[in-house]
Chain A
C-alpha cells in the first residue's frame, strides 16, 4: 500500500506506540500526589517541555487538549468568553472547519464575524485582514499551513498588525508543526494550535500554546487541570506519545518531504497534460500537493486508486466524506466542478521515491493521462 493521505493522519511511530504502552502500564493519575501520580506527572511535564522547546516557549504556555479541534475551539470561544462582552472575530475563508464553525457559533450568539478571502494561490492578504479589523475586534485567526493546498500564510505580518492594535492573534499550526519554523513570539501569535496525529503521534491529543498573560475562559470546567484551562483526567498515553513524536521530528524530514513532493508534482505534470497544481508555488508546507485533474472526477478516482493500493484524499478528509466541494478551493476561485476534479496527496517522512513514482504512474493511468 502507498499511503499519501498524511495530512488526514499519519502512522504512529513505533517509538510513540512504545511510549504510550509504557504510560498505560505506569497507570498513575497525573493529578495524584503519591508516587505513581508524581511519576505520571513527571512524564507529562517531560512531554510538555518537548513541545515548549519546539516552539521556543515556556512549558507553562502549553495546554494539552484532546486534539486540534478542541484547541481551536478553546482559542476562539475561550478568548471570546473571557472578554465578557460581545465583540468581533476575524477569520480567513480557508480555515479548517474547527475554526470556521466555532466562529459561526459565536456569530449565532451575537458576535460579529468577518471572513477574509484568499487569492488564487490560497494566500490571505494582510492588508485585507487589516481592512477587516474594527474597534470591536477581539481575535484574528489565520492558519499557518492550509490543510488542503498547503499554502503558508504571512503570519508575521498579520501578527504585527494585531499586536499594534492590541488584538489577540490565533493560528492553527496543525499541519505545519515540526515541519516549518514556528516561534509564536516571533510571529506575534498569542495562541497556536498543535495536533499529535499529524506528526506520527497518536490521535486524541493536541495542544494550545497560550502566551503567558493571555486570558481564556475554559470550555471544560472540573478538576482544574492545565492551569484551570482544561479540566479532565490527563490522557497520559496520548500526551506521552505526542511528546515522543515531537522529540523524533527532524528538520531533515521536512527537506526530504519537500524534495519528494516536488518530484511528485513534476511527474504528475509530465504524465497528465492539463493537470493543474493548487496552492502557492513556493510558500507551501513540505508534505502537501493539491492537483486538479483535466477530466477524472476525484471521488471515482479515489476509489479506483484505493483498490489499486494507493490512499489519497479528495480535498480534506472531512470534505471527502461529506462530498461537498472544498470550501478552500472555492475560496481560491475554483468552480465546484473544478473542485470535484481535485486530489490531495500528502507525504510523510516514510514516503519513498519509489512510492512517488508508482503513485504518479497509477494516477496518470486511472485519470486518463500517459502511462
Chain B
C-alpha cells in the first residue's frame, strides 16, 4: 500500500515493547473507523508483538513490508 493510501503514519522505531503497541493503539483509536494507519517498527520483538496486539483490539492488518531493516505495518481501524 502506497503512502498516499494511508491516513497517518506513526514511526515507532526505537520504541520498546509494549510501549510501541500502546502508542499504536492510542493513535489508531483516535482515528475514524475504517481509517488506515502505517506503523514503522523495528525488526524482532516489535514486529512479532505489535500486530497481534492491534488485531486483539479489532484492527485489521492490511500489509507488512521490510524497508531498510525496519518494518512498515499497515493497519485498518476496526469498528
Contact A45 B19 (CB under 8 A): yes
Contact B49 A45 (CB under 8 A): no
Contact B19 A224 (CB under 8 A): no
Q: Does A44 interact with chain B (Cβ within 8 Å)?
A: yes
Q: A49 — nearest CB in chain B belongs to which residue?
A: B26
Q: A42 — nearest CB in chain B belongs to which residue?
A: B22
Contact B18 A38 (CB under 8 A): yes
Known: A38-B53, A60-B15. A33 touches B45 (CB 8 A): yes
Q: Does A91 interact with chain B (Cβ within 8 Å)?
A: no
Q: B25 — nearest CB in chain A belongs to which residue?
A: A42
- Residue-by-residue, is A28-44 near B (CB-CB < 8 Å gives 1, otherwise 0)? 00111101011001101
Complex-state Cα separation, A45 to B53, whole angstroms: 15
For B18, the chain A residues whose CB sits under 8 A away are: 30-33, 37-38, 41
Q: Does B6 interact with chain A (Cβ within 8 Å)?
A: no
- Residue-by-residue, is B20-64 near A (CB-CB < 8 Å gives 1, otherwise 0)? 011101100000000000000000010001000100100000000
Pick from A32, A37, A42: contact of B26, CB below 8 A: A42
Chain B interface category by residue count:
10 to 19
Complex-state Cα separation, A45 to B28, whole angstroms: 14
Complex-state Cα separation, A45 to B63, whole angstroms: 25
Known: A32-B18, A45-B19. A38 touches B45 (CB 8 A): no
Contact B22 A45 (CB under 8 A): yes
Contact A33 B56 (CB under 8 A): no
For B53, the chain A residues whose CB sits under 8 A away are: 33, 35, 38
Contact B16 A224 (CB under 8 A): yes
Q: B46 — nearest CB in chain A belongs to which residue?
A: A33
Smallest CB separation, B40 vs chain A (Å):
14
Complex-state Cα separation, A46 to B49, whole angstroms: 19
Complex-state Cα separation, A351 to B43, whole angstroms: 53
Q: Does B17 interact with chain A (Cβ within 8 Å)?
A: yes
Q: List 27 A-B contacts (CB under 8 A).
A: A30-B22, A31-B18, A32-B18, A33-B17, A33-B18, A33-B21, A33-B53, A35-B53, A37-B18, A38-B22, A38-B25, A38-B53, A38-B56, A41-B18, A41-B21, A41-B22, A42-B21, A42-B22, A42-B26, A44-B19, A44-B22, A45-B19, A45-B22, A46-B26, A59-B23, A60-B15, A224-B16
